[in-house]
């Protein structure tokens, strides 16, 4: 089955700096890649996703890039703010949709004021 690896497990940045989280996947058939943000004590919530027919997608300060050849995708957060502090999960699916996601192990992002 699919295996998703996520790095780093923890990341600390100064407010205003950029943060990058990287994931690799094993199944070349994977075609849907969402990113979830989980604040302390809360449920995971989708922040951005990308499908395999697109190389990059942006939404304000958040962007995701996908390299199908290398089987990796990354989350980029620019101009980080304290409210960006959370655990971020990447995921992958072969179904072009949100079902049957395989998740990475998560990255604890801390934005220092």
Partner 1 sequence: EAQVTQNPRYLITVTGKKLTVTCSQNMNHEYMSWYRQDPGLGLRQIYYSMNVEVTDKGDVPEGYKVSRKEKRNFPLILESPSPNQTSLYFCASSYVAGHPGNEQFFGPGTRLTVL
Binding site for partner 1 (CB under 8 A): 1, 6, 9, 34, 42-46, 49, 89, 95-106
Q: Smallest distance, Å, CB 12 to partner 1?
A: 17
Nearer to partner 1, 54 or 98 (CB): 98
Alpha carbons 113 and 16: distance in angstroms, whole number: 9
Half-sphere exposure in the Cβ direction for 6 (13 Å, CA): 25
CB of 64 to partner 1, least distance (A): 14
d(CA 94, CA 79): 32
Residue 32 near residue 98 (C-beta atoms within 8 A): yes
Between residues 19 and 91, which has the closer beta carbon with respect to partner 1? 91
Smaller CB separation from partner 1, 98 or 112:
98
Nearer to partner 1, 29 or 46 (CB): 46
Alpha carbon separation from 102 to 24, 30, 34, 41, 74 (Å, rounded): 12, 10, 10, 22, 16
Output the smallest distance, CB 19 to partner 1, in A.
Answer: 18
């Amino acid at each position: 089955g699919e295996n998703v690896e996520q790095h780093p497990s923890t990341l600390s940045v100064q407010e205003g700096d950029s943060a990058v989280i990287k994931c690799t996947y094993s199944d070349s058939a994977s075609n849907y890649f969402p990113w979830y943000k989980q604040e302390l004590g809360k449920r995971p919530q989708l922040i951005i996703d990308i499908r395999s027919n697109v190389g990059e997608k942006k939404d304000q300060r958040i962007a995701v890039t996908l390299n199908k050849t290398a089987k990796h995708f990354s989350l980029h957060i620019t101009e980080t703010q304290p409210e960006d502090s959370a655990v971020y999960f990447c995921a992958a699916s072969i179904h072009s949709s949100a079902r049957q996601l395989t998740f990475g192990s998560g990255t604890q992002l801390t934005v220092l004021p």
